[in-house]
Amino acid sequence: MKLRSDNIFQKIQSQKGQIAVLIDPEKTNTEYQIVELVKKASFAQIDFFFVGGSTVSRIDLEKTVKLLKTHSKIPVVLFPGGSHQLSEKADALLYLSLVSGRNPDFLITHHVNSAQEIANMNIELIPTGYILVDGGTKSSVAYISQTTPIPRSQKSIAKNTALAAIFQGKKLIYFDAGSGANEIVPIEFVKQLRNEMEVPIIVGGGIRTIHEIESFKKSGVNVIVIGNHIEENIEFLLDIQRYKLSIS
Ligand code: 1GP
């Protein structure tokens, strides 16, 4: 097994309000698309690219990661939808356990199936408690994993799920309302976990405004993930650039 650094984890931990652009390689995998995205994301001083999706093939994933590493210096972090979504060219792998669900496949089976391959790879692993929250629409993760997201009214369940994941050794918590969610993760879910402990937090799903980014930053979120909204309107990166400038 090769030695791995924890540079990406340290970067995630180091600051609140960082931005990740989520790329779905099923939709974004040509050189032209990647070059355009990299140009605008670099100008906006985006902190990370996350790459993955519920039904992405290994070929598309590897192609997208390779293009990102060729054209950009922004760290590339895998956000896999399954055990085949691996690429040694990425800087880190969010090693997800879907702790809000009760499907053993997404708690241990995918991990066992990919363990030897990961052991042979030189990639930073970040054990992550992945918590799916009801975003007002049935998400692809909920459908594919056949799990039930945490209801928005269940603050205590959300907090206790996150705490249990940390006690089991997860190094960060990812609250996700699901891709294209109608409603973002309740700020209260973040605040109550923040009140309990200083664990790195990632939030994503349905984020479309600078105001939402700012609210998550204020409540102590380390990384705010935006996928759909940038896919639909790449100019939103200009708003992020102006926002970043205004707070620097
Ligand atoms: C989904 O957290 C991500 O898993 C991002 O969601 O595509 O809605 O921004 P969006």
Q: Ligand 1 within 6 A of 145 CB?
A: no
Q: Ligand 1 within 6 A of 133 CB?
A: no
Question: Could you give all domains of the chain from N- to C-terminal order, each with its CATH number?
Answer: 7-247 (3.20.20.390)
Strand-pairing partners, residue 203, are 175, 224
Question: What's the pLDDT score for residue 4?
Answer: 78
Angle at 224 between CA 65 and CA 208, to 5 degrees: 100
Question: What's the pLDDT score for residue 74?
Answer: 98
CA pair distance 207, 217, nearest whole angstrom: 13
Question: What's the pLDDT score for residue 248?
Answer: 85
Hey, is 42 helix, strand or coil?
A: helix
248 residues of the chain, pLDDT tens digit each: 766 789 999 999 999 999 999 999 999 999 999 999 999 999 999 999 999 998 999 999 999 999 999 999 999 999 999 999 999 999 999 999 999 999 999 999 999 999 999 999 999 999 999 999 999 999 999 999 999 999 999 999 999 999 999 999 999 999 999 999 999 999 999 999 999 999 999 999 999 999 999 999 999 999 999 999 999 999 999 999 999 999 98
The answer to pTM > 0.85 is yes
Q: Ligand 1 within 6 A of 227 CB?
A: yes
CA pair distance 231, 233, nearest whole angstrom: 6
Q: Ligand 1 within 6 A of 52 CB?
A: no
pLDDT digits (tens, 9 = 90+) for 30-65: 999 999 999 999 999 999 999 999 899 999 999 999
Contact 103, 146 (CB under 8 A): yes
pLDDT digits (tens, 9 = 90+) for 139-173: 999 999 999 999 999 999 999 999 999 999 999 99
**Ligand 1 pocket: which of 175, 176, 212, 232 to mutate (most atoms within 8 A of CB):** 176
- Rounded to the nearest angstrom, the distance between the alpha carbon of 3 and the centre of ligand 1 is 31
Question: What's the pLDDT score for residue 3?
Answer: 60
What atom of ligand 1 comes closest to residue 226's alpha carbon?
A: 9
196: tokens are 């309990």
Q: Ligand 1 within 6 A of 180 CB?
A: yes
- Rounded to the nearest angstrom, the distance between the alpha carbon of 1 and the centre of ligand 1 is 33
